Amino acid sequence: MTKDRPIDLAALDAHWRAANYLSAGQIYLMSNPLLTEPLAPEHIKPRLLGHWGTSPGLNLVHTHLNRLIKDRELDAVCIWGPGHGGPAVLANSWLDGSYSQVYPDVGRDAAGMAELFRQFSFPGGVPSHVAPETPGSIHEGGELGYSLAHAYGAAFDNPGLLVTCVIGDGEAETGPLAASWHANKFLDPVHDGAVLPILHLNGYKIANPTVLSRIPEAELDSLLTGYGYEPLHVTGSDPDKVHHSMARAMDHALERIAECKRSKGRPRWPMIVLRTPKGWTGPAEVDGLPVEGTWRAHQVPLANVRENPEHLRQLEAWLRSYRPDELFDAEGRPADQVLACVPRGELRLGANPHANGGLLTRALPVPPLEHFAVPVDKPGATLHEPTRVLGGLLAQVMADSAEHRNFRVVGPDETESNRLGALFEVTGKAWQAEVLKTDEHLSSDGRVMEILSEHVCQGWLEGYNLTGRHGLFSCYEAFVHIVDSMVNQHIKWLKTARQLPWRAPVPSLNYLLTSHVWRQDHNGFSHQDPGFVDHVLNKSPDVVRVYLPPDANTLLSVADHVLRSRDYVNVIVAGKQPCFDWLTLEEARAHCARGAGIWEWAGTEDGTREPDVVLACAGDVPTQEVLAAAALLRSHLPDLAVRVVNIVDLAKLLPHEEHPHGMADLEYDALFTRDQPVIFAYHGYPWLIHRLAYRRAGHANLHVRGYKESGTTTTPFDMVVRNDLDRYRLVMDVIDRVPGLATRAASIRQTMADSRTRHHAWIREHGTDLPEIADWTWTG
């Protein structure tokens, strides 16, 4: 161990006191920020909002990180898991000047301090949590559980970066956080940065003790050692002693990290367990009940300051206990001692460019699609597995990004199963634990990340994206619901960040949902759910994009687009099973650029007749069934004018006013007509199409088929029959909906119904689909 570095305890304490003062000030004060006059009710905010309990602990960590960064010129960011302690992080970024840099109206002086206080949790002001508006942040601590996964995501492929991560003992009870500890088995000491978790045990959540604070310390150490860390303890309530102990622990952690970076084999990374009182330095008792050190300190310790003179008195005593006159000069500027530990420029935690990752984003080298496209002489003559074709493109992107290491593919153990195995020709799967001879593709520096936790995959990718790098999450469609709430939060983040001029756009979060509802016939009902699309479409249209490419070349074109995009959440739903090739690459590009279009070759378009019926489709399996239905109609009802419309970009169906991709009504009507029957075969829940298109002129004639929760272990075609999405049913729908056909085509309708009956009998006997289905090809 190297010689102990000097610690200026008085300076650290001054910075910490200043941050504590500013934190409490934000919660309480409307004016009189420097307490230049005696505190009066009119100085107090009318609504007291904010979380005090965690703030002193966050301030302690920030103060000591400042010292560490300044002393060593460290490139470091911090993930504030208890992000509801917004006042603390805001206080610190005001102190280091980064706040005033992006918000010049909140200067580092008395007027700025007054505005810092006033705007906090105030209408038109800033949120009470760490949020996109907070400089230096890539993590909102509202919905707990994701801090540690974000931290690892930020550290991957940033070998010079230290990512500290404060984990509250409340958050530590969540599943995603509990799973994230094991991310250290995926962190490469050579190509990745370091993660320093700081588990902050302040003992209480909103109303309850926390589990990890109430098990014996030896048991906690056993747990953390079992997670693969070396815990360093900092415990206490005496500020001087804690400062000393914290500084030493941080120095020690940095030395251990340096050793880990040099070590061979899987290192044991250090972490800090910080045990300090909740609401530390705040009121010890209020109205005769203990507050400091208890759950009562979680939010606003003194609740009735405006009305209750004793509360007002206590607040003034509390604020003055930090000795603000020593901390700020008469103009409200922080004293030199306060700023002694604060680093400069981009080393400040509030100004590190990794926390505004768009600044560092380097465009992905997406190669020409021509190298990967499948040849299509005529529609439907050949079959390819779309995701396998995509795998070729992704492998090339992976190879071409080897130098800058700014692309990763994550997934819960499904990359190979999702037919993206070409990636393993150019990179491995990240893995630091034991390797056996029977393993394949594991490597310490691989950029495919597989852990059986969708939460951790999502958290990694969010952290990677928000620090400016690119990625793709490939997931079974049904199980992406596991991260519903995480994607909610990420979309909210992006929506807000897009409105902040100082935040540079970051790479989009890209999902490839495959092993989808129609081809989980072997895994059954539990694996059949197409509702993620519905879920994301509730969110901000500025951020959300949904694509359903119907074949291999359209998937390539969509992937090309999303890998270049910024600030979106892109959801691609595409199958991995053999699928007919419908479009050449050129046609695919044109179709994807439009987002929705008429497939003339599939219908009876001759440029003269209006269609009698429109067959619309979105998704690979619905497209196949619609084309099969179109072929049946052509042979059984050759005089019927049939139009086939395919939708790749689902938001095209929305009104233009509701989504930037939405079609104008004229455009919509040109595809779907204003008054002819539309039979729409959709990949997911049919009512979603109604929810998107209900304002359109032709809506009353829109009849949608899709998945309606009829699933089990069965054959692929039986899945579509069970959900009334099959070609025979679609033809029956046409006959039922086109005026005049019901009688004229009654026998054809019966033929279709008979085919369905034959299907049922056949699969019960043979367990496979009818030969006419299994061998079907398009003969347009």
Subset of residues 248 to 277 that bind a copy of itself, contact rule: CB under 8 A: none
Subset of residues 713 to 752 that bind a copy of itself, contact rule: CB under 8 A: 713-715, 718
Q: From the list 258, 694, 746, 779, which residue makes contact with a copy of itself (rule: CB under 8 A)?
A: 694
Contact 114, 79 (CB under 8 A): no
Q: How far is the CB of 480 from a copy of itself (least distance, A)?
A: 8
Contact 387, 574 (CB under 8 A): yes
Stretch that binds a copy of itself, among 223-231, 241-249, 305-313, 334-342 (CB under 8 A): 223-231
In order of 26, 237, 608, the CA distances from 65 in angstroms are 22, 19, 73
Burial class (CB in 10 A: 0-12, 13-18, 19+), 771: exposed
Q: How far is the CB of 82 from a copy of itself (least distance, A)?
A: 12
Stretch that binds a copy of itself, among 5-13, 303-311, 592-600, 762-770 (CB under 8 A): 762-770
Contact 110, 158 (CB under 8 A): no
Q: From the list 23, 26, 92, 174, which residue makes contact with a copy of itself (rule: CB under 8 A)?
A: 174
Stretch that binds a copy of itself, among 13-21, 128-136, 345-353, 569-577 (CB under 8 A): 128-136
Asked if 442 touches a copy of itself (CB under 8 A), the answer is yes
Q: From the list 566, 690, 737, 756, which residue makes contact with a copy of itself (rule: CB under 8 A)?
A: 690
**Ordered DSSP codes for 350-376:** TT-GGGGGGGG-----PPPGGGTPPP-
Tokens of 262: 């040099």
Helix (H, G, I), strand (E, B) or coil at 39: coil
Asked if 235 touches a copy of itself (CB under 8 A), the answer is no
Subset of residues 49 to 78 that bind a copy of itself, contact rule: CB under 8 A: 49
Asked if 150 touches a copy of itself (CB under 8 A), the answer is no
- Of 131 and 681, the one with the shorter C-beta distance to a copy of itself is 131
Beta bridge mates, 77 = 163
Binding mask of the shown chain, residues 485 to 524, with x at each position contacting a copy of itself by CB under 8 A:
x--xx--x--xx-------------------------xxx
Q: From the list 5, 185, 333, 756, which residue makes contact with a copy of itself (rule: CB under 8 A)?
A: 185
Stretch that binds a copy of itself, among 17-25, 109-117, 288-296, 628-636 (CB under 8 A): 288-296
Asked if 778 touches a copy of itself (CB under 8 A), the answer is no
Q: How far is the CB of 715 from a copy of itself (least distance, A)?
A: 6
**Look-up of token digits 């002819």:** 676
Q: How far is the CB of 403 from a copy of itself (least distance, A)?
A: 27
Close Cβ partners of 653 (under 8 Å, ≥ 6 residues apart)? 596, 647, 662, 663, 668, 689, 692, 693, 696
Contact 448, 466 (CB under 8 A): no
Q: How far is the CB of 452 from a copy of itself (least distance, A)?
A: 4
Spatial separation of the C-alpha atoms in residues 520 and 418, rounded to whole Å: 12
Asked if 614 touches a copy of itself (CB under 8 A), the answer is no
Binding mask of the shown chain, residues 659 to 688, with x at each position contacting a copy of itself by CB under 8 A:
--------------------------x-xx
Contact 474, 414 (CB under 8 A): yes
**Ordered DSSP codes for 670-717:** HHH-SSS-EEEEESS-THHHHHHHTTSGGGGGEEEE---S---S--HH
Asked if 290 touches a copy of itself (CB under 8 A), the answer is yes
- Of 582 and 717, the one with the shorter C-beta distance to a copy of itself is 717
Q: How far is the CB of 698 from a copy of itself (least distance, A)?
A: 13
Q: How far is the CB of 146 from a copy of itself (least distance, A)?
A: 10
Spatial separation of the C-alpha atoms in residues 336 and 329, rounded to whole Å: 10
**Ordered DSSP codes for 521-538:** TTT-GGG---THHHHHHT
Q: From the list 40, 41, 111, 175, which residue makes contact with a copy of itself (rule: CB under 8 A)?
A: 175
- Of 343 and 706, the one with the shorter C-beta distance to a copy of itself is 706
Binding mask of the shown chain, residues 521 to 540, with x at each position contacting a copy of itself by CB under 8 A:
-xxxxxx-x-x--xx--xxx
**Ordered DSSP codes for 242-294:** HHHHHHHHHHHHHHHHHHHHH-SSS--EEEEEEE--TTTTS-SEETTEE-TTS
Contact 45, 123 (CB under 8 A): no
Asked if 142 touches a copy of itself (CB under 8 A), the answer is yes
Contact 692, 650 (CB under 8 A): yes
Give Cα 709 to chain centroid, integer Å.
Answer: 27
- Of 149 and 162, the one with the shorter C-beta distance to a copy of itself is 149
Helices (H), 528-619: 532-537, 552-564, 585-594
Asked if 129 touches a copy of itself (CB under 8 A), the answer is yes
Identify which of 439, 434, 394, 329 has the alpha carbon closest to the alpha carbon of residue 36: 329
Q: How far is the CB of 714 from a copy of itself (least distance, A)?
A: 4
Tokens of 376: 């299509």
Asked if 655 touches a copy of itself (CB under 8 A), the answer is no
Q: From the list 26, 32, 93, 210, which residue makes contact with a copy of itself (rule: CB under 8 A)?
A: 210
- Of 222 and 777, the one with the shorter C-beta distance to a copy of itself is 222
